[in-house]
Amino acid sequence: MPSRRSITRRAWLVQTAAGVAAAAGHVSRNVMAAEKNDLRIIDPHVHVWKIDAKYPWPADLKSPPKGDALPETLLELMQANGVEKTVIVHVIYYRWDCRYAAAAIRAHRDKFAGVCRVDPESPRAAADLDRWTALGFEGVRLSPSLGPSGDWINDRKQMDLIWGRAAELKVPMCVLCPIERIPEVEQVIARYRDRLDVCIDHMADSPIERPQELKKLLALARYPRVYVKLSHLWSLSHEAYPYRDTHEQARRLYDAFGPERLMWGTDWPGVEEYCGYAKALALYREEIKFFNDNDRKWILGGTTLKLWPLANSG
């Protein structure tokens, strides 16, 4: 998802065009390397949207995006970088209306899987999850923020309504939250530890300048069905690419969870404001030196395929 800093329409178009051009320049090396190593690259975290009256923004959206993030642009980047398939995570701009992502998934079922959102405070949340999974989504995302607006994570009845239905449907639960919320999220995970796969997005944005905070996330390694996305290194770093000041945090998660429960992720198009799509992939494939070839097979594709087999995955 885009960073907190705003992007003008002109800057957005320039960045997107540059990202596609840069990716095209990497195509031979990326695809040949993947083929040589029998490496399947699956991106588990992107967003798409379109400025279109057919898919209106909610009336209360204060800062709608200035440009589109189209599936067609994403597919060009994937092809240029040897990325076989991807998981579209419904962007919060649309709130609980997941129709645009659903349409993209239907149009490119051989390339996309999807994660929907439901209103965590709605009594219809379980029914909404039924509706979106019937339209092709294979996961659901909840985002308990800090402060009172995220306290619904502690509503046991409501969480059991949503998590229980996800378990019945056998669709993974993705959680986007700050590291401070992880102990409360763990209370729900513990109730579903044997019933539901859970993925913590973006390492819970645990700040590298407070390394002790990561212990909250490391504690979840005790649950075999909990996975972590090693994404957002660029937004956590205080350095330029390849963000070496974040690699130790990635190493601690690697040591706790092992490569079979870790995933990379571009978070496209937000990554275009930082290093771009091609470098986001190169970061995990080439720059994090403690990953060996087998680790990369899991982190760059194998782990994602455990949670989202994707249509015609082969």
Calculate mean pLDDT across residues 53-82.
96
Q: Summarize the confidence of residues 75-86 as an average pLDDT.
A: 98
**Average pLDDT, rounded, for the chain:** 91
Dihedral, 161, 167, 169, 175 alpha carbons, nearest 10: 80
Q: Which domains does the chain have, with CATH numbers?
A: 9-307 (3.20.20.140)
Q: Is the pLDDT of residue 190 over 60?
A: yes
* pLDDT tens, position by position, 60-72: 999 999 999 999 9
Residues 6+ apart with CB under 8 A from 131: none
What is the reported pLDDT for 4?
Answer: 35
| pLDDT above 60 (res 23) | no
pLDDT at 11 over 80: no
Confidence at 48, pLDDT banded by 50, 70, 90: very high
What pLDDT does 263 receive?
98
Do 228 and 263 form a contact (C-beta atoms < 8 A)? yes
- Top-confidence residue, 146 or 38: 146
pLDDT, average across residues 288-299: 98
The reported pTM is 0.89
Query: Comparing 7-21, 96-110, 141-155, which segment has the lowest mean pLDDT?
Result: 7-21
33-47, 71-85, 95-109, 148-162: least confident range = 33-47
* pLDDT bucket at 314, cuts 50 / 70 / 90: low
Kindly report, residue by residue over 106-165, the tens digit of the pLDDT.
999 999 999 999 999 999 999 999 999 999 999 999 999 999 999 999 999 999 999 999
Give the pLDDT band (50/70/90) at residue 13.
Answer: very low
Check whether 22 has a pLDDT greater than 70.
no
What are the tens digits of pLDDT across the range 249-272? 999 999 999 999 999 999 999 999
pLDDT score recorded for residue 309: 87
Lowest mean pLDDT among 123-127, 181-185, 302-306, 307-311: 307-311
| Confidence tier at 18 by pLDDT (50, 70, 90) | very low
